[in-house]
């Protein structure tokens, strides 16, 4: 194969001097390649049929086997297709869920249906999961590196590209053809068709070589030298628990948060971020937090808000919580710039906006006709969703001025309907255009954010005669939904407690039975963290809900949070203590 490409490059000459030497006459990523891989999903199915003059291509040429495609790329010098992004997040493109008749192979006569997976992949979901994890590994295959290098413009023409046998047809490069200078309409259309069909190399972003991928030991050593904290998910066997007194009383902590983005900690090293806490009595605490300080024995700084323990200076919500309501962490959010706290659960069915710095209430909004039971903020901090006992959810816009959050727009963007019982948990993702809500009747509903359109309902299995309650949900950045359900029996027996993992498209991926009632859970990347009534904090690998580690705290956990950079897990307990979980000793980490 190598000789063929070198020979083609060395011996090619264009008599007109227009076409430069090349190794490949087509591009590695073009419309035809995308349609080849995505043939089982619309609208690519229709586009593929149109490209093939009204019918599916010959079955043997279709994408029907990942091992077969891999073999073809190594043995066929003209096959230069590379991976498309769907290989790292979309298992559905490997399944013929629409039941298209794709014909049968000529030799084996096997009917083409779902894509044949490698032997190491059990399911399409497993294949995508392992493929995505490979991007984070120390040693990544060349094919994956090609996609990374593409982003930084390493496919550009030059001596390095010639040496790597990586020169493509001249029309694929930016600026190679000035279409405005082509006066002949036929020639112009031919060039446009060539560019559209063969694809184009993206613009070069950087001129310097891509940095070498660090080994794990190099990463740890660099972090130690620069006083940077490390993600605790790499050191789950090396965690340590610190107890911090917050209220000085047995008032349970029901909310704790370190807002995601605080520029001051970047501008000036050593300045404290703000950690926000709320107790079940509505006492607010605004503490100082520094995730890593090498000179301190516990490697972090917690600066307690003195007003929390002073009865005269305590900060409280101006409107009381509804009588008999169980106050949960779902009822509070803090904007990412740590300017505003938004709360629900109040007796007058209101949403309240509290300015943290000015220590005053900015807004009192009543749009729900019953108590607001849950809130969630999207990743960008621009949209808020509220759920209520009135069975509806409302999406709100967070008003900003100069990039600073100033209030909630009083006019809702969308009102979402469909539940038949109290909404117990919500999640919103503007990036995925996804709003997820769960209710006490055992249903999870998915809507779009922009238009409020209903997508689907998820229903965890429940035995006949039993009732199902969903008090907590979590959603990761891939749109996978983790549902915690409590199945109650008509007789007075122990509830069945279960975690369910659903894909973005509603497929149940796995379930796991748990022994204790989960009070709160959060999802971070490929990990799920839960806190239960027995005082255990458990970390799971999200894909299979496989338990990675568990820490006994011996006091029921009411709320959880994870700090910026995944350096610490924060847990609020029933006795009012704040638990900070970090790495035992960064100097000993290997």
- The HSE-up count of residue 26 (CA atoms within 13 Å, CB side) is 16
pLDDT at 56 (0 to 100): 93
Which pLDDT belongs to residue 157? 64
Q: Which residues pair with 244 in a beta bridge?
A: 578
Other beta carbons within 10 Å of 195: 18
Q: How far apart are CA 126 and CA 233, in angstroms?
A: 21
Q: How far apart are CA 199 and CA 169, in angstroms?
A: 10
Ramachandran angles phi, psi of 152, nearest 5°: -95, 10
Q: What's the CA angle centered on 136, arms 135 and 140, to 5 degrees?
A: 55
Sheet with 332-334, edge to edge strand ranges = 332-334, 340-343, 351-355, 360-365
Please give the pLDDT value at position 8.
Answer: 77
Residue with tokens 């050191």: 235
Q: What are the DSSP E strand ranges found in 410-453?
A: 414-416, 423-429, 434-439, 444-447
Q: How many residues does the chain have?
A: 590
Give the E-state strand segments of 4-46 in sequence order: none
Q: Which two tokens stand for residue 542?
A: 């999200």
pLDDT of residue 203: 73
3-state helix, strand, coil in the chain (%, to 5): 20, 30, 50
From first to last of its 590 residues, what are the pLDDT tens digits of the chain? Answer: 445 677 778 888 888 777 888 877 777 777 888 899 999 999 999 999 998 889 999 999 999 999 999 888 878 777 778 888 899 989 999 999 999 999 999 888 899 999 999 999 999 999 999 988 887 664 444 444 444 444 333 445 677 778 777 788 777 777 777 777 888 888 888 878 777 766 777 777 777 777 777 777 777 777 777 767 788 998 899 899 998 888 767 789 999 999 876 544 443 445 788 899 999 988 999 999 988 777 777 778 899 998 888 888 888 888 889 999 999 999 999 999 889 999 999 999 999 999 988 888 999 999 999 999 999 999 989 999 999 999 999 999 999 998 899 999 999 999 999 999 999 999 999 999 999 999 998 999 999 999 999 999 999 988 887 889 999 999 998 899 999 999 988 776 788 999 999 999 999 999 999 999 999 999 998 899 999 999 999 999 998 999 999 999 999 999 999 998 888 999 999 999 999 999 876 555 54
Q: What is the pLDDT of residue 152?
A: 37
Q: Report which of 536, 577, 578 is spatially closest to residue 554, judged by C-alpha positions.
A: 536
| Measured distance CA(519)–CA(559) in Å, rounded | 7
Chain Cα centroid distance, residue 517: 25
Structure tokens at 64: 């029907």
The topology under which CATH files domain 2-198 is Neurobeachin; Chain: A, domain 1 (1.10.1540)
224's tokens: 């130690």
Q: In angstroms, rounded to a whole number, what is the distance separating the alpha carbons of residues 379 and 467? A: 33
Strand, coil or helix: 482: strand
**Rg of the chain over CA atoms, in angstroms?**
28
| Contact assessment for residue 169 and residue 198, using Cβ atoms and an 8 Å cutoff | yes
pLDDT number for residue 149: 46
pTM for this predicted structure: 0.86
């Amino acid at each position: 194969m190598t000789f063929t490409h070198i020979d083609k490059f060395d011996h090619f000459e264009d008599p007109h001097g227009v076409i430069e030497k090349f190794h490949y006459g087509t591009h590695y990523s073009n419309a035809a390649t995308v349609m080849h891989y995505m043939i089982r999903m619309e609208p690519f199915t229709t586009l593929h049929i149109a490209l093939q003059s009204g019918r599916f291509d010959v079955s043997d040429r279709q994408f029907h086997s990942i091992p077969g495609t891999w073999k073809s790329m190594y043995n066929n010098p003209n096959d230069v297709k590379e991976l498309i992004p769907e290989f790292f997040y979309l298992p559905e493109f490997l399944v013929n869920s629409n039941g298209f008749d794709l014909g049968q192979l000529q030799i084996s006569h096997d009917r083409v249906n779902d894509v044949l997976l490698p032997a190491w992949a059990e399911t399409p979901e497993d294949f995508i999961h392992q493929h995505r994890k490979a991007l984070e590994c120390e040693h990544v295959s060349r094919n994956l590196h090609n996609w990374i290098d593409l982003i930084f413009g390493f496919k550009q023409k030059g001596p390095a590209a010639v040496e790597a046998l990586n020169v493509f047809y001249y029309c694929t490069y930016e600026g190679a053809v000035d279409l405005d200078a082509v006066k002949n309409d036929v020639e112009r259309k031919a060039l446009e068709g060539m560019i559209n069909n063969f694809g184009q190399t993206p613009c070069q972003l950087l001129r310097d070589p891509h940095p070498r991928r660090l080994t794990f030991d190099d990463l740890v050593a660099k972090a130690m030298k620069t006083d940077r904290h490390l993600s605790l998910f790499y050191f789950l066997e090396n965690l340590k628990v610190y107890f911090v007194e917050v209220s000085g009383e047995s008032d349970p902590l029901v909310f704790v948060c370190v807002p995601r983005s605080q520029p001051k900690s970047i501008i000036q090293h050593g300045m404290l971020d703000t950690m926000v806490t709320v107790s079940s009595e509505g006492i607010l605490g605004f503490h100082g937090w520094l995730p890593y300080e090498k000179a301190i024995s516990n490697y972090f700084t917690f600066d307690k808000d003195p007003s929390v323990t002073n009865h005269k200076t305590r900060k409280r919500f101006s409107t009381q919580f509804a009588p008999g309501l169980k106050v949960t962490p779902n009822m509070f959010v803090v904007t990412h710039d740590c300017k505003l706290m938004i709360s629900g659960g109040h007796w007058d069915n209101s949403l309240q906006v509290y300015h943290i710095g000015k220590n005053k209430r900015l807004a009192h909004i009543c749009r729900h006709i019953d108590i607001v039971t849950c809130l969630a903020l999207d990743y960008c901090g621009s949209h808020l969703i509220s759920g209520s006992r009135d069975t509806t959810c409302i999406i709100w816009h967070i008003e900003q001025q100069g990039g600073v959050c100033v209030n909630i727009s009083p006019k809702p963007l969308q009102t979402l309907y469909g539940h038949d019982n109290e909404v117990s948990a919500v999640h919103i993702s503007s990036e995925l255009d996804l709003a997820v809500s769960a209710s006490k009747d055992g249903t999870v509903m998915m809507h779009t954010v922009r238009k409020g359109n209903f997508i689907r309902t998820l229903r965890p299995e429940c035995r006949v005669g039993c009732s199902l309650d969903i008090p907590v949900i979590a959603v990761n950045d891939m749109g996978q939904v983790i549902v915690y359900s409590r199945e109650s029996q008509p007789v007075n027996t122990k509830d069945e407690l279960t975690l369910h993992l659903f894909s973005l498209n509603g497929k149940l991926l796995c379930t796991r039975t748990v022994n204790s009632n989960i009070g709160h859970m959060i999802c971070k990347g490929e990990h799920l963290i839960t806190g239960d009534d027995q005082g255990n904090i458990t970390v799971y690998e999200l894909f299979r809900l496989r338990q990675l580690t568990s820490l006994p705290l011996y006091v029921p956990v009411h709320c959880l949070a994870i700090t910026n950079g995944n350096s610490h897990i924060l847990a609020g307990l029933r006795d009012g203590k704040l638990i900070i979980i970090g790495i035992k000793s960064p100097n000993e980490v290997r």
